[in-house]
Amino acid sequence: MMLDKNNRFLYGATKTQIFQVDLHDCNRFKTCSSCLSTQNPYCGWGTTINRCTIQQNENNDKRRFRWLQIYESCPTIIETAPVVISKGKSDRLHLKVASVPDDSTSKYFCSFALTSLLTETEENDTDTPIYISNAIKYENYITCYSPPPQALSNIAHDSIVIHLLYNDIILAEKNITFYDCSSYVT
Q: How far apart are CA 62 and CA 75, in angstroms?
A: 16
How many CA atoms lie less than 13 Å away from 168 in the CB half-sphere? 0
Q: What is the pLDDT of residue 64?
A: 46
The one-letter amino acid code at 32 reads C
Judge if 94 and 140 occupy the same domain. yes
Q: What is the pLDDT of residue 65?
A: 55
User: What does the angle CA 53 – CA 75 – CA 100 come to, to the nearest 5 degrees?
Assistant: 100
Q: How far apart are CA 146 and CA 26, in angstroms?
A: 36
Q: What is the pLDDT of residue 118?
A: 66
DSSP class of 5 = T
Judge if 63 and 83 occupy the same domain. no
Task: Look up the pTM and report it.
Answer: 0.75
DSSP class of 151 = H
Q: How far apart are CA 71 and CA 48, in angstroms?
A: 18
> pLDDT tens string for the chain (186 positions)?
888 887 778 888 899 998 888 877 888 888 888 899 888 888 888 887 888 888 764 455 444 457 787 778 888 999 999 999 888 889 999 999 988 887 777 789 999 998 876 665 555 445 688 999 999 999 889 999 999 999 888 887 788 899 999 888 888 999 999 888 777 666
Q: What is the pLDDT of residue 174?
A: 93
Q: What is the pLDDT of residue 137?
A: 92
The domain that holds 162 is classified in CATH as 2.60.40.1930
Judge if 63 and 89 occupy the same domain. no
Judge if 64 and 85 occupy the same domain. no
